[in-house]
């Protein structure tokens, strides 16, 4: 099935290339009335990012320019401040992503950050998301929104990441690529873009395989993405987005203790082989976006999407632990149907002599998840799916209304207001009921109204100074709600959502036509933060422990230094602390938290300083060269701060040459060396791991060679 979908995508690409050239080359603007030019960005407003009173980074995606294979999302985030994407070298878990410290405690997937692809949510209503479905071959740009205005995206919006696919090109263009490198890593890709009649298309397919840097970390991933823009005439457009990812039997090497890292950093934990820890995941998603200009002042946008995601994951929970009748087994298998819709009206006009723009919208999202659990053994055979131990439906519904108002009321001042109201309802229907495992069914609801305000001053055409404030909230996900700390059945109804107050002061300066410097001071105070309450028999429960504070500064520079020379640089200083005393749970088993954590203690998983810089040279043909520097400070790995991963600095070099084989045909050859100095680093950490296996080592010096043919 996986290879059939890949072949289907390539067939669509071939059909598009074979279509009549006259239709392909006819611009959309010549075939109907185009939509008004829209400055599409995460603010939802028709204004340039430079005029948004918020920290908003827009990054053009071109993995080939740096010799990158286009596998990990972290590849395109060089020079973006505030966001930290840590490559686990463990494809059974998603990349570890945090924005200004939000999401750093997630042990898998992405928490506290809203993720979108082509305007379609990739974060489920309970706040859990992933970026593994991002296809960089078809991408045009990535937008990262940080600070107070993120809260306009609702639950768990400590930041917002949006990836946009490129539109089809007036001149058809097809790219075939192959990459190969260290640790038996290979990647094949194909992408085609063009225009056929009233339809512009962008279709991409790829396959990535790797033996992995560590033992027991083999992976195979197939990724397909297709975007079709259909001009309906009369200022109407329909965009269709198809996305698929298939990742079967990805091995999970698990984390290592400090002693294991010293012994052999490339080893896997012994139990990973004993239980053959691994994960299979498949996701299919369809999204539709309809846009219509009603008149010169009004625009309508409607979006709907539906997806299916299935996972089966084999854990290393010992067999004796599963003797507890309340234990849900060592194999988890959630099957999720999800979807939603969003309707948005935008009006532009003039008020008291100043331009204004109003956005009114409403959205609804749902997930229906059948979660089953099984023993990870049959008799004496380990690492296989055994007897059923869990069978429930976990459903989430989220309904929201939002409004934004932007007013450029005098030439030097503008105002941006926003308001959002969310209602999130969790319900659990238990179908695994025995004499020793009672009915766990139940439900709980949360709601929040989150306002935001921003004011911008323009002392000069190339300078902006702004201040903004907003309130946000984050509900517990099903991982935190699933079990009660008192051992009784049902959801953890006593858990409260974490609520935050965010403030930011910043400036943006365009030193030249294509060179911008940004700076921002920020603070986020959160109350009712979540921490582990108990850790017994492979099951963790959670509780609200008090307040936290994240504050710091971001600096960024991006643009052209001279002809053919480009710079992207970002630096973040972040101070993340607990503001209350509380008792933590350490080790496993831990039936009652008993280790004191003092107010002012450092939050785990958050480096105090991190940043990246890339300097590249090249003008689109012939030779190109680049150097990338990455630095990450030390991080504590648990609430108690008793252990930490050392900071590191990496140097990566890349070189390439583009051969012009014809007017529209190029061959791009590239070579890239990562971790040039062969530094021994900890790439990411597993915060508060109950077994003390906190560390996930990153690879040493590695090489990647690539070839891309574009015609």
Q: What is the pLDDT of residue 37?
A: 39
**What residue ranges define each of the domains in the chain, with the CATH number in brackets?**
2-710 (2.40.170.20)
Contacts of 561 (CB under 8 A, 6+ apart): 515, 567
Continuous segment of H or E residues that includes residue 7: helix 2-18
Torsion of CA 270, 276, 277, 281, to 10 degrees: 160
Contacts of 429 (CB under 8 A, 6+ apart): 392, 393, 395, 441
Please give the backbone phi and psi of residue 667, each rounded to the nearest 5 degrees, phi first: -120, 120
Dist CA 280 CA 340 (whole Å)? 25
- Token pair recorded at residue 44: 């939802």
Torsion of CA 196, 198, 202, 205, to 10 degrees: -60
Q: What is the pLDDT of residue 538?
A: 62
- Tell which phi-psi region holds residue 678, choosing left (phi > 0), alpha (psi between -120 and 50) or beta: left
Task: Judge contact between 149 and 157, C-beta under 8 A.
Answer: no
Please give the backbone phi and psi of residue 36, each rounded to the nearest 5 degrees, phi first: -60, 145
Q: What is the pLDDT of residue 41?
A: 62
267-280: burial string, b at 16+ Cβ within 10 Å, e else: bbbebbbebbbbbb
C-alpha dihedral sign at 84, 87, 88, 91:
positive
Dist CA 568 CA 615 (whole Å)? 7
Neighbours of 155 (CB within 10 A): 29
Contacts of 234 (CB under 8 A, 6+ apart): 32, 33
Dist CA 668 CA 177 (whole Å)? 9
* pLDDT average per 10 residues of sequence, the chain (711 residues): 38 34 34 40 80 94 84 93 88 89 85 93 89 92 94 91 95 96 96 96 97 96 97 96 95 95 95 96 97 95 97 94 88 95 96 95 96 95 95 94 96 96 94 88 93 97 97 90 77 90 97 94 95 76 91 97 94 96 83 89 95 92 94 94 94 95 92 96 90 93 96 95
Dist CA 118 CA 285 (whole Å)? 12
Helix (H, G, I), strand (E, B) or coil at 415: strand
- Give me the numbers of helices (H) and strands (E) for the chain, helices first please: 5, 37
Task: Judge contact between 626 and 612, C-beta under 8 A.
Answer: no
Dist CA 627 CA 484 (whole Å)? 50
What is the pTM for the complete model shown?
0.91
Cis, bond preceding 391 (omega within 30 deg of 0): no
Dist CA 230 CA 234 (whole Å)? 12
Dist CA 77 CA 569 (whole Å)? 10
Task: Judge contact between 206 and 192, C-beta under 8 A.
Answer: no
Neighbours of 621 (CB within 10 A): 12
Total residue length of the chain? 711
């Amino acid at each position: 099935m996986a290879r059939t979908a890949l072949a289907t995508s390539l067939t669509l690409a071939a059909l598009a290339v074979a279509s009549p050239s006259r239709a392909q080359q006819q611009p959309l603007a010549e075939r109907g009335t185009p939509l008004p030019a829209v400055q599409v960005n995460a603010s939802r407003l028709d204004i340039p990012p430079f005029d948004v009173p918020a920290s908003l980074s827009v990054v053009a995606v071109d993995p080939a320019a740096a010799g990158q294979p286009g596998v990990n999302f972290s590849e395109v985030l060089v020079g973006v401040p505030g966001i930290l994407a840590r490559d686990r070298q463990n494809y059974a878990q998603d990349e570890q992503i945090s924005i200004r410290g939000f999401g750093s405690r997630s042990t898998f997937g992405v928490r506290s950050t809203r993720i979108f692809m082509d305007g379609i949510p990739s974060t489920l209503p309970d706040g859990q998301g992933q970026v593994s479905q991002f296809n960089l071959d078809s991408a045009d740009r990535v937008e990262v929104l940080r600070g107070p205005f993120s809260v306009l995206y609702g639950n768990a919006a400590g930041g917002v990441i949006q990836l946009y696919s490129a539109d089809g090109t007036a001149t058809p263009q097809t790219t075939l690529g192959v990459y190969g490198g260290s640790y038996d890593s290979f990647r094949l890709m194909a992408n085609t873009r063009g225009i056929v009649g009233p339809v512009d298309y962008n279709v991409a397919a790829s396959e990535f395989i790797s033996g992995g840097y560590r033992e027991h970390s083999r992976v195979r991933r197939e990724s397909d993405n297709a975007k079709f823009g259909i001009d309906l005439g009369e200022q109407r457009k329909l965009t269709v987005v198809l996305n698929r990812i298939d990742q079967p039997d990805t091995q999970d090497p698990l984390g290592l203790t400090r002693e294991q890292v010293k012994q052999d950093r490339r080893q896997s934990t012994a139990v990973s082989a004993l239980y053959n820890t691994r994960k299979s995941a498949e996701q299919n998603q369809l999204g539709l976006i309809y846009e219509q200009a009603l008149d010169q002042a009004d625009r309508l946008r409607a979006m709907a999407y539906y997806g299916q995601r299935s996972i089966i994951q084999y854990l290393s929970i010992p067999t004796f632990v599963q003797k507890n009748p309340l234990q849900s087994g060592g194999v988890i298998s959630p099957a999720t149907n999800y979807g939603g819709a969003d309707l948005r009206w935008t009006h532009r006009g003039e008020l008291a002599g100043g331009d204004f723009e109003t956005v009114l919208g409403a959205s609804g999202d749902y997930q229906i998840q059948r979660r089953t659990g099984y023993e990870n053994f049959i008799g004496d055979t380990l690492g296989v799916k055994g007897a059923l131990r869990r069978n429930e439906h976990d459903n989430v519904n989220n309904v929201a209304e939002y409004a934004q108002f932007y007013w450029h009321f005098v030439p030097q001042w503008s105002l941006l207001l926003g308001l959002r109201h969310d209602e999130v309802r969790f319900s659990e229907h238990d179908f695994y009921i025995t004499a020793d495992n009672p009915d766990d069914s139940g439900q709980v609801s949360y709601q929040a109204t989150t306002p935001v305000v921003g004011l911008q001053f323009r002392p000069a055409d190339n300078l902006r100074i702004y201040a903004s404030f907003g309130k946000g909230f984050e509900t517990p996900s099903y991982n935190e709600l699933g079990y009660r700390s008192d051992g009784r059945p049902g959801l953890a109804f006593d858990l409260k959502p974490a609520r935050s107050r965010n403030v930011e002061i910043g400036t943006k300066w365009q030193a030249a036509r294509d060179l911008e410097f940004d700076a921002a001071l920020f603070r986020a105070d959160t109350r009712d933060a979540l921490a582990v309450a108990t850790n017994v028999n492979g099951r963790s429960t959670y509780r609200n422990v008090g307040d936290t504070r994240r504050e710091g500064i971001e600096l960024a520079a991006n643009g052209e230094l001279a002809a053919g020379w480009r710079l992207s640089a970002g630096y973040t200083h972040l101070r993340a602390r607990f503001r209350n005393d509380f008792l933590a749970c350490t080790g496993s088993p831990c039936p009652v938290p008993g280790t004191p954590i003092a107010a002012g203690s450092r939050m785990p998983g958050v480096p105090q300083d991190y940043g990246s810089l890339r300097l590249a040279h090249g003008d689109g043909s012939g030779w190109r060269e680049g150097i990338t520097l990455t630095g990450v400070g030390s991080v504590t790995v648990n609430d108690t701060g008793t252990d930490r991963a050392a900071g590191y600095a990496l140097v990566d070099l890349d070189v390439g040459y583009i051969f012009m084989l014809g007017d529209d045909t190029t061959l791009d050859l590239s070579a890239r060396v990562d971790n040039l100095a062969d530094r021994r680093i900890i790439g990411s950490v597993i915060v508060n791991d109950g077994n003390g296996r906190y560390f996930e080592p990153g690879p040493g010096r590695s090489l990647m060679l690539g070839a891309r043919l574009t015609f």
